Amino acid sequence: MPTLTLSQARTLIDAALMTARQQGFKPMGVVVVDAAAQVVASAREDGASALRLDIALGKSGAAVGMGVNSRTLAQRAKDLPAFFGAVASTAQQAFIPQTGAVLITDESGAVIGAAGASGGTGDEDELIVIAGIAAAGLRHA
């Protein structure tokens, strides 16, 4: 069974942050979690506000926990606010259903983790983690 390695996670983060700099985005935080939503690696750029890693972790944990990218969760949260509020308040892990986290899959499509970012718009956060996933030679859902 393929697993997400520290080396892959660090490559993903470095590429994501490089993409953020190339695009001129605000300072970012990026978190990579495994399939159990446990942190493999994280980094917060100089100048990024204090909650960036907490938010990125909440996004990536939500994606893994629900088995879909956080963009989908953000829409579902609009449609079912009471349910998502209950999940966020009772989950054992941080749970933030907002755009900016993408599932990482193996070649068969099985989820092996997620990468989440915070610091820009949801679209910017999502863009940099997708770039990071590709740079690490991984697949995304």
Q: What is the pLDDT of residue 43?
A: 98
Mean pLDDT, rounded, for 78-93: 93
As a whole number of angstroms, the distance between CA 123 and CA 106 comes to 24
Q: What is the pLDDT of residue 16?
A: 98
pTM of the predicted protein model: 0.95
pLDDT at 2 over 80: no
**% the chain with pLDDT above 70:** 99
Q: Read off φ and ψ for residue 134, nearest 5 degrees.
A: -65, -45
Confidence band for 107, pLDDT divided at 50, 70 and 90 = confident
* Other Cβ atoms closer than 10 A to 118: 29
The full set of domains in the chain, from first to last, is: 6-140 (3.30.450.150)
Q: Which pLDDT tens digit goes with each residue over 22-69?
A: 999 999 999 999 999 999 999 999 999 999 999 999 999 999 999 999
- On whether the CB atoms of residues 10 and 115 are closer than 8 A, the answer is no
123 or 108, which is more confident? 123
Confidence band for 1, pLDDT divided at 50, 70 and 90 = low
**% the chain with pLDDT above 90:** 92
Mean pLDDT, rounded, for 122-135: 98
Q: What is the pLDDT of residue 112?
A: 96
